[in-house]
Structure 1
């Protein structure tokens, strides 16, 4: 069989929106391919210059396929399906929000289009149709204008307590839950896998049943692979249907790390170091601190770290130390 050459393709949403956007800076995120990919007979086509040291480090922690090339890709990887219309439908925040409104799945005031802003009295969350990992999200009031072009979903602002992504698999009852870490700008910056029991305890049995009904509805659309449904717990309830990701996700990255961190509890976090640090400096500092960790990315403007422990309390202490270390 001919070896496939994959491009991660973080411009997936832009292509669905028929925008000519090629953000080469996103190539740093190509490192998630090494952890999520399970195929041996393939290479990663990337514009990022992964160092020999980093690729050797990946092999040392158990990553089997670290083959990279600058050759033209033969297949795009981020998408779950070649069905363009299905991709557009499921990944569109507009179409899925309208579906949620029609089906009664959305418990907070939500509307389509900036022209509906007059319906809201307080703060509004505006999400651009093809935003990615929180990018394209704005917090406004009904009198404010948004400079970014595009169509928007508006929702009343509620105080989130926890933010989740629940991934369901086609032709299976299996699923996993990731609690997402969200920064002050509303953008994804990491997360941790939580148990089904903890999720049930936090959101309630009724919410689990509601999400199962949503899952069954969506899979009747002939989905080929997994789907992630984003949801959140807020001060007055649970929102089971914020948006849908029918593609690879950062949640899949977090879930894949369980095979390499080998600890009961773990998290994955993207940091932006405030000072210049090298791979060796980070490796030595975390080792001396006694943290159980994996440096999952190259050290650049950002660095991603997976940290694990058999103790929730110790993991929280390590997380606090890492925040301080990179600040």
Structure 2
């Protein structure tokens, strides 16, 4: 049996883009939370970390670092993937089917961008790279901070997606291709970078929250998502696909942008939904991802557990360290009964393990959502 290779660096390889940083090694641990049998691991895993995973009830796959013919596990490198993962494809489908807000467009040269900015000199816009994931290369742009040279260099390589800067209220991801449609509340920074995610044991609780908070009907959301999924099936999509969307406020109205982009591969939304297994009935959890350099150093994984001892997961509540302690990033999952509870717990975790040089990420604060 061949092993699985966790090719997180999927987009740069798929579109043959230069990338300064590789994330394959950093997020390879995700594989342990699925039911894979054999992993082509490119890093070593401490014994105390693997024992902790077993304590959680996970089955450790066979580790096969010397396998010369592994299968790509995160995503398939194919022409179909190139087309279906592209934000240009998502934009075209959205425009053709009435799922695109006014002003979202593909821009191919710097003159187009400059013309748009000058026509609305006081308005902010949002630029997205059509081929990169997790908000990489995204930026907020206005005439005041327009860097013509920097954007010209990027446009020499490929076109970009440009949109008015929307006042986003909530980012939602929908994962199709399994026995049930899974949903993730994405936590993104103002400039579109993925910072974390929230998942409910029962997705109805998320939509109850949306209707109570903003009065937006869940049927509108679900109807759009199923139509978009059908459109991608007609384009040849098979297996897993995540459709990203968001609610936003414009002219005192709550609106929905149902097709921002698509991940035609496995995704962090899929992974975070695997963590629903650690939630109680009616529970909610938050995935946190911190730069390890901002945390107190640990000689081993046991030391990280010791730091968190009073907050560790038990009886379906508390924090689960997800990743080894020695990577560039350290990931955690916090399980609780309410948003208020996981909000407080997430900040307690930061206070306990951070070195105190940076504040807790504003993108992860849930105060504005506590009803």
TM-score of the superposition, structure 1-length normalised? Answer: 0.88
1:18 and 1:275, CA in 2 relative to 1: closer, same or farther beyond 3 A? closer
Given the alignment, which residue of 78, 88, 97 partners 1:94? 88
Partner of 1:245: 263
Correspondence 1:189 to 2:195:
yes
Given the alignment, which residue of 305, 308, 314 partners 1:283? 305
Structure 1: distance between partners of 2:205 and 2:296: 41
Partner of 1:141: 142
Correspondence 1:221 to 2:239:
no
5+ long unaligned stretches in structure 1: none
SS in 2 for 1:4: coil
Structure 2: distance between partners of 1:262 and 1:4: 36
1:276 and 1:70, CA in 2 relative to 1: closer, same or farther beyond 3 A? same
TM-score of the superposition, structure 2-length normalised? Answer: 0.78
Moved more, 270-279 or 297-306: 270-279
SS in 1 for 2:25: helix
Partner of 2:360: none
Q: How many positions carry a matched residue from both structures?
A: 318
Structure 2: distance between partners of 1:106 and 1:296: 37
For the aligned residue pairs, the C-alpha RMSD in angstroms reads 2.3
**Contact 2:84 / 2:237 at 8 angstroms: preserved in 1?**
no
Q: Deviations over 1:217-262 (max 9, x none)?
A: 2222332212110001111211111001110000011000122455
Higher strand share: 1
Partner of 2:367: none
5+ long unaligned stretches in structure 2: 357-371
**Contact 1:133 / 1:187 at 8 angstroms: preserved in 2?**
yes
List aligned pairs for 1:1-327, cutoff 5 A: 3-19=1-17, 23-35=21-33, 37-40=34-37, 43-71=38-66, 72-79=68-75, 81=76, 84-115=78-109, 116-117=112-113, 118-120=115-117, 121=120, 122-142=123-143, 143-145=146-148, 146=151, 147-148=153-154, 149-169=157-177, 174-194=180-200, 195-199=203-207, 201=211, 203-204=216-217, 205-236=219-250, 237-262=255-280, 264-273=283-292, 274-278=294-298, 279-289=301-311, 292-300=318-326, 301-325=328-352, 326=354, 327=356
SS in 2 for 1:315: helix
